[in-house]
Amino acid sequence: MRFVELIRKKRDGHPLEDSELQALIEAYTEGDLPDYQMAAFLMAVYYKSMEATELAVWTEAMLHSGQVLDLSDIDGAKVDKHSTGGVGDKVSLILAPLAAAAGLKVPMISGRGLGHTGGTLDKLESIPGFDVNQSVQRFIELVDTLGLGLIGQTGEIAPADKKLYALRDVTATVECIPLIASSIMSKKLAEGIDSLVLDVKVGSGAFMKNVDRARKLAQTMIDIGASMDRPVRALITDMDQPLGRAVGNSLEVIESLETLRGEGPEDLTEITLELVVEMLDVAGKADDRDEAKAHLRSLLDDGSAMEAFTRIIEAQGGDPGVCTDPSLLPSADYTVEFEALRDGVIQSIDAQEVGIAAMELGAGRRTKEDTIDHGVGLVFQKKRGDEVSSGEPILVIHYSDRQSLDLAKKRLRAAIVIGDQPLKAPPLILDRLQ
Ligand code: URA
């Protein structure tokens, strides 16, 4: 096949045949199509997009570029959740055990944090001993016996996406809805799930900066799921300020443990419950959504969700003692309060800047090769809409070196705006699509 013809076809806005799309993915995965040609093709997609039928074929080819897990021997509904990423987003740590306690099977394959966003794997790895590198066989066993498994992307799952994502990263083709949608859906559907719930974040700390683009991304992923008979639901949720109070790995595990005990912050608890209700609903196990939500709350209050988390920590080599004694988690050397400089009401907390401040402290990675400090981060005492007095702490900074503290403080000073207007907290869940 002459790939230059396919690039030209896409460049000129014509849809490609199924066999042409499959050939592109196969050749690129095998190393038979050079980066420069795929880069040109991706740029053509960036400008000319893909039709729904093309995108379904493209995604399916990516999904089959590597191993597709077969969970058909596991009884029960296999459902996962994917978040498009944000700041302070520790939902997966609570949601997976809660959904398992509610009877779902959750094969969760997560990623690491990069830039201002955190990653579930980094959070889990702050639990001493927790091993996110389980074999596929062991992962399937965990999902079967404990109702959940929490692992990292393996080289065998959707290798086409791994190569394409790296290429997009250096060719300015990441911000393209069909390419984002196919990237996410190829990895998620390779988990062997029956259905999927998406948390598409929108706002300053999210990939999608406005609701219309977030809706478009969500709908594109729902359509891809439908083309493969995998029902997908999506919530569009606010990421204009950090979710919950903690940002930083150990600190987010501590907040997740509080939430698993039913004592977490309202926004984090609410989003988690709503997402698990969606998971139950998409699996046909929530006739009455209010009842389902009340039941999930009871699983937090009676310790069932915490028990599921304790068991998976133990099964994956971690120290389950952290569940009752969070002091076993790594911690920063120092803490300092970050105070308000004036009286007023917090008008905004720029989530992206907060994420970068946490990264400056060492909680995140500037490049994929960076190592992270699991103990450092931020814990907010005030959020958007809260009143503050001059000198009152807005948050506590957990840090290990003074230079990074100074950088983080500068970011935070610019990120948090205090004004005089009273402010009603905007809604957390902006839309629901199916
Ligand atoms: N997350 C992914 O997995 N892929 C993208 O393209 C963007 C975000």
Q: List pLDDT tens digits, range 393-425.
A: 999 999 999 999 999 999 999 999 999 999 988
Distance (Å) of CA 106 to CA 88, 143, 258, 319, 320: 22, 6, 21, 21, 20
Our mutation pick for probing the ligand 1 site, out of 58, 59, 165, counting the most ligand atoms within 8 A of Cβ, is 165
pLDDT the model gives residue 198: 98
pLDDT at 369 over 90: no
Contact 317, 129 (CB under 8 A): yes
Mean pLDDT of 233-250: 97
As its CATH architecture, domain 79-323 has 3-Layer(aba) Sandwich (3.40)
Judged on CB neighbours under 10 Å (0-12, 13-18, 19+), 359 is: buried
Tens-digit pLDDT profile for residues 134-165: 999 999 999 999 999 999 988 889 999 999 99
Contact 179, 42 (CB under 8 A): yes
What is the pLDDT of the chain when averaged over all its residues? 96
pLDDT band at 50 (very low <50, low <70, confident <90, very high): very high
pLDDT the model gives residue 366: 85
Q: Give which of 316, 57, 81 is closest to 178, Cα–Cα.
A: 57
Q: Give which of 221, 218, 192, 213 is closest to 80, Cα–Cα.
A: 192
Tens-digit pLDDT profile for residues 328-367: 999 999 999 999 999 999 999 999 999 999 999 999 998 8
Domain 79-323 and domain 330-419 have a common topology: no
Tokens matching residue 411: 């970011």
Contact 37, 68 (CB under 8 A): no
Pairing, β 195-202 against β 232-238: parallel
Euclidean distance between CA atoms 256 and 251, whole angstroms = 9
Pairing, β 429-433 against β 79-83: unpaired
Does domain 330-419 fall under CATH 3.30.390.30? My reply is no
What CATH number does domain 3-48 carry, 3.40.50.150, 1.20.970.10, 1.10.8.10, 1.10.260.40? 1.20.970.10
Mean pLDDT of 172-200: 96
Phi, psi angles (nearest 5°) of residue 420: -100, -20
Distance 183 CA to ligand 1 centre (A): 5
Euclidean distance between CA atoms 253 and 127, whole angstroms = 8
Judged on CB neighbours under 10 Å (0-12, 13-18, 19+), 171 is: middle
The gap between the terminal CA atoms of the chain, to the nearest Å, is 38
Distance 153 CA to ligand 1 centre (A): 13
Residue type, 53: T
Residue type, 325: D
pLDDT at 300 over 80: yes
Mean pLDDT of 203-218: 94
99 alpha carbon, distance to own chain's centre: 16
Mean pLDDT of 153-182: 94
List the chain domain ranges.
Answer: 3-48, 79-323, 330-419
Judged on CB neighbours under 10 Å (0-12, 13-18, 19+), 210 is: exposed
Q: Which of 80, 89, 122, 161 is catalytic?
A: 161
pLDDT the model gives residue 115: 83
pLDDT band at 312 (very low <50, low <70, confident <90, very high): very high
pLDDT the model gives residue 12: 98
Residue 183 neighbours by CB distance under 10 Å: 21
pLDDT at 235 over 90: yes
**Taking CB atoms and a 6 Å cutoff, what residues make up the pocket around ligand 1?**
165, 174, 179-180, 183-184
pLDDT the model gives residue 370: 86
pLDDT the model gives residue 179: 97
Residue having the nearest C-alpha atom to atom 2 of ligand 1: 184
Mean pLDDT of 154-182: 94
Our mutation pick for probing the ligand 1 site, out of 174, 199, 213, 217, counting the most ligand atoms within 8 A of Cβ, is 174
pLDDT the model gives residue 112: 87
pLDDT the model gives residue 420: 97
pLDDT the model gives residue 200: 98
Tens-digit pLDDT profile for residues 83-130: 999 999 999 999 999 999 999 999 999 988 888 888 999 999 999 999
Judged on CB neighbours under 10 Å (0-12, 13-18, 19+), 135 is: exposed
Cross-strand partners of 246: 379
Tell me what percent of the residues of the chain surpass a pLDDT of 90. 94
pLDDT at 368 over 90: no
| Angle of helix 52-63 versus helix 177-189 axis, rounded to 10 | 40
Euclidean distance between CA atoms 177 and 50, whole angstroms = 10
Cross-strand partners of 237: 201, 429
Distance (Å) of CA 197 to CA 109, 134, 157, 409: 14, 24, 20, 36
183 classed as catalytic: yes
Euclidean distance between CA atoms 344 and 200, whole angstroms = 32
Distance 404 CA to ligand 1 centre (A): 29
Tell me what percent of the residues of the chain surpass a pLDDT of 70. 100
CA angle 112, 118, 124 (to 5 degrees): 65
Mean pLDDT of 170-188: 96
pLDDT at 5 over 80: yes
- Phi-psi domain of 208 (left: phi exceeds 0; alpha: psi -120 through 50; beta: other): beta
Contact 107, 139 (CB under 8 A): yes
Euclidean distance between CA atoms 138 and 132, whole angstroms = 11
Euclidean distance between CA atoms 227 and 235, whole angstroms = 20
> Which residues, in sequence order, are CB contacts of 403 under 8 Å at separation 6+?
none
Tokens matching residue 339: 């105070």
